[in-house]
Amino acid sequence: MSASHRNAPPAPQRRRFLAALGAGIALPACAVSAAAAPKRAAAAVDTAARPVPTPAQLAWQREELSMFVHFTVNTFTDREWGDGTESPQVFAPTRLDARQWARAASQAGFASMVLTAKHHDGFCLWPTATTAHSVAASPWREGRGDLVREFVEACRAEGLRTGVYLSPWDRNHPRYGSGQEYNDVYIAQLTELLTRYGPMTEVWFDGANGEGPGGRRQTYDWPRIHATVRRLQPNAVMFSDAGPDVRWVGNESGSAGAVNWSTVDPARVPAPGVNDPWTTEALQQGDPDGAVWRPAETDVSIRPGWFWHARESDRVRSADNLLELYFNSVGRNSKLLLNVPPNREGLFDAPDLAALAGFHARRTALFADDLLRRARVRASGGRDAAAVLDPDPDRHWQADARSGWLEFALPEPVQFDVVRLGEAIAHGQHVGAWRLQAHAGEDWRTVAWGSTLGHCRLARMAPVRAQRLRLMIDFAYDTPRIAQVSLFRGAAAFAPGKRADDHGDA
Ligand code: FUL
């Protein structure tokens, strides 16, 4: 989305540069960004003021996996950005079945789906009163179809929550660029989407706008847009570069910051589409002192493009590559919004379905057996240390100071190569430096370390065999509350490497 695409179609070099910023999960503590370093003396922290998520933000993050669906006239014209001159006649999927999409998503462990109800070309996937440029003017279902309805009904039948993407940039609508008049149209479109189809859990505002010189420039009325969503769907989160509830992660290559705070200073990214020198870092890393809770969403496509193109069907990400994305997004305190675009029949394609199934199989196998489950746990202080072995994300060890440790003793040695750590984020995100140590001989050896934790931190390492382990929380901005410490074995089999499905990301 956004900054990288603001004035022109995606620039590969910028993508690569942005991806590089998020690369590498095992940074030495001394190499982590300045944003991770404590900025204030411990005694000066006003802990009462640290932000916490709303119930909607908490539910959004705990889903971990959401599926994006890009589908419109572009699917039929073979373009990524339509210019608004497409005839609605081209929109003619022959076997469209939203249940097939929803089934694939739910079987692969995804909890929600977000549909492009209108992309930049302005074609609306639902019959709207705001324009004739919609499915009502297409041959699909003889002009009587409503794809947003079929989508939400399919998702609900599969137990998935639903969201909509409604591009503010509209290259077809005659009122675009008129100011107030287009803003009225946009609000009317939002109102239709948010009143006709039941609960929506996410509303996605794209910051992309490629209007060049001589193009029609439109100033969006963000306060009115946000107020409309809040009034009509108070339980939905709103996504954009600037939130207000969920922020863009700053690239489209599937990498959150290795340091990633869910708190931000809103002044650093004040509006969607702003591209200051510091924007990418602010989106990637957040800010430990940020006054606002605005977690990062990692949107990335299973194919090189966002829309389906026949020529890309041999470049679908592999199951291993999807697992890699999972480590780099969910495993870095973000949420993965993975795009799977339907083909011209209106179905998910065979290679995409195979990759999703493989991803699910690998992920569930890897995380099936928590090797730490049978440990005895001691803590430096505080209460309920054993709660870190319970997967309930609300049960947690609360330390009695702003640093501390947990020690684990297992009945016999185990071999592991992944650790999953998590904070009880309902109480905020506070940990700024941690180390995992294994007891070897007389000494403790550090086997993984980093800065932020948040809802989920996954770290991989060369296989370690140990019977005693400890997690050191070296620094936190408020009393650490650790909800999960788990160990797994098997990640070594999925070591990243250059493959045909490499889209040039980290
Ligand atoms: C970008 C858009 O320009 C792409 O087409 C896509 O929708 C992506 C998710 O966001 O800004």
Residue 193 has pLDDT above 80, yes or no: yes
- pLDDT tens digits, one per residue of 117-163: 999 999 999 999 999 999 999 999 999 999 999 999 999 999 999 99
CA–CA separation, 333 and 386 (whole Å): 23
User: Residue 496 — very low, low, confident or very high, per pLDDT cuts 50/70/90?
Assistant: low
Taking a C-beta distance cutoff of 8 angstroms, is the pair 3, 275 a contact?
yes
- Kindly list the distances between the CA atom of residue 47 and the CA atoms of 334, 451, 478, in Å, as whole numbers in the listed order: 23, 19, 6
User: Residue 48 — very low, low, confident or very high, per pLDDT cuts 50/70/90?
Assistant: low
In terms of DSSP bridges, do strands 246-248 and 443-450 run parallel, antiparallel, or are they unpaired? unpaired
Residue 24 has pLDDT above 90, yes or no: no
Closest ligand 1 atom to Cα of 1: 11
Q: Measured in angstroms, how far is the CA atom of residue 252 from the centroid of ligand 1?
A: 9
Residue 27 has pLDDT above 50, yes or no: no
Closest Cα to atom 4 of ligand 1:
1
- pLDDT tens digits, one per residue of 319-345: 999 999 999 999 999 999 999 999 999
- Any ligand 1 atom below 6 A from CB of 5: yes
- pLDDT tens digits, one per residue of 262-296: 999 999 999 998 899 999 999 999 999 999 999 99
Q: Measured in angstroms, how far is the CA atom of residue 172 from the centroid of ligand 1?
A: 17
Closest ligand 1 atom to Cα of 307: 5
**Amino acid 43: pLDDT:** 39
Pocket test for ligand 1, best of 306, 308, 336, 503 (most atoms within 8 A of CB): 306
User: Residue 214 — very low, low, confident or very high, per pLDDT cuts 50/70/90?
Assistant: confident
Closest ligand 1 atom to Cα of 68: 9
Question: Rounded mean pLDDT of the chain?
Answer: 90
Closest Cα to atom 2 of ligand 1:
1
Share of the chain above pLDDT 70, in %: 88
- Any ligand 1 atom below 6 A from CB of 208: yes
Mean pLDDT of 86-93: 98
Please, which residues bridge with residue 65 across strands? 336
In residues, how long is the chain? 506
**Amino acid 400: pLDDT:** 96
Q: Measured in angstroms, how far is the CA atom of residue 165 from the centroid of ligand 1?
A: 10
Cα 89 to the chain's mean position, in Å? 34
Please, which residues bridge with residue 439 across strands? 444
Q: Closest by alpha carbon to 261, among 28, 36, 505?
A: 36
Closest Cα to atom 7 of ligand 1:
1
The H or E element containing residue 310 is none
* Ordered structural domains, the chain, with CATH: 2-15+63-366 (3.20.20.80), 376-488 (2.60.120.260)
Q: Measured in angstroms, how far is the CA atom of residue 19 from the centroid of ligand 1?
A: 16
Q: Measured in angstroms, how far is the CA atom of residue 426 from the centroid of ligand 1?
A: 31
Top pLDDT among 454 and 212 is at: 454
Residue 463 has pLDDT above 70, yes or no: yes
In terms of DSSP bridges, do strands 202-204 and 161-166 run parallel, antiparallel, or are they unpaired? parallel
DSSP one-letter string for 352-384: HHHHHHHHHHHHHHHTS--TTTT-EEEESSSB-
Closest Cα to atom 1 of ligand 1:
1
* Structure-block tokens of residue 473: 């929380």
* Structure-block tokens of residue 292: 């606002």
* Structure-block tokens of residue 376: 């005895």
- Any ligand 1 atom below 6 A from CB of 115: no
Mean pLDDT of 377-389: 98
Taking a C-beta distance cutoff of 8 angstroms, is the pair 102, 154 a contact?
yes
Beta strands in 147-243 (DSSP E): 161-166, 202-204, 237-240
Give 483: exposed, middle or buried? Use CB within 10 Å, 0-12, 13-18, 19+.
buried
Closest Cα to atom 10 of ligand 1:
1
Pocket test for ligand 1, best of 206, 275, 308 (most atoms within 8 A of CB): 206
Q: Is 331 left (phi over 0), alpha (psi -120 to 50) or beta?
A: alpha
**Amino acid 263: pLDDT:** 98
Residue 7 has pLDDT above 80, yes or no: no
In our burial notation (b when 16+ CB lie closer than 10 A, e otherwise), range 369-390 reads ebbbeebebebbebeebebbbe
Pocket test for ligand 1, best of 5, 211, 241 (most atoms within 8 A of CB): 5
Closest Cα to atom 9 of ligand 1:
1
Q: Measured in angstroms, how far is the CA atom of residue 1 from the centroid of ligand 1?
A: 4
**What are the backbone dihedrals phi and psi of residue 211, each rounded to the nearest 5 degrees, phi first?**
-60, 115
User: Residue 33 — very low, low, confident or very high, per pLDDT cuts 50/70/90?
Assistant: very low
**Amino acid 36: pLDDT:** 33
Share of the chain above pLDDT 90, in %: 84
